[in-house]
Amino acid sequence: MTITFEGASDDVVIVDRGAGDVEEYDAYNGATFQLRTDRERMQIGLTLETLSGCWHPSVGQVDETAPLPAWPVRFEQSTDRDYSVRLVVDAPNDAELVEIDA
């Protein structure tokens, strides 16, 4: 399953899980998500850098006991917003998206 994350305006994060499954999250102070399967977890963060007005996505471990999954991840320029980099994660089909903070 391919999931994309990108910032919009100065207070919204858009998550697209494909097949028309698009959600917007209030993210005035940024947003944090986890992608989870039964065995692996990945943390996703999006913050708005106030000087440039550009969104900065990040990927990391959930904690020190959970290694970063080897799921393909890439960054690309948003085709809709000049101020946002899109994060694309190719996660397993059973991955669950969990909103941690938005």
Q: Could you tell me the pTM of the whole model? A: 0.93
- Predicted confidence at residue 102, as pLDDT, reads 65
Q: Taking the mean position of all CA atoms in its chain, how far away is CA 22?
A: 12
* Helices (H), ranges, 1-102: none
Q: Taking the mean position of all CA atoms in its chain, how far away is CA 47?
A: 10
Q: What is the pLDDT of residues 40-99, one digit of tens each?
A: 999 999 999 989 999 999 999 999 999 999 999 999 999 999 999 999 999 999 999 999
Q: What is the pLDDT of residues 10-19, one digit of tens each?
A: 899 999 998 8
- Predicted confidence at residue 37, as pLDDT, reads 97
Per-domain residue ranges of the chain: 2-101
Burial of 71 (0-12, 13-18, 19+ CB in 10 A): middle
Q: Is the dihedral of CA 37, 66, 24, 75 positive or negative?
A: negative
- Predicted confidence at residue 50, as pLDDT, reads 87
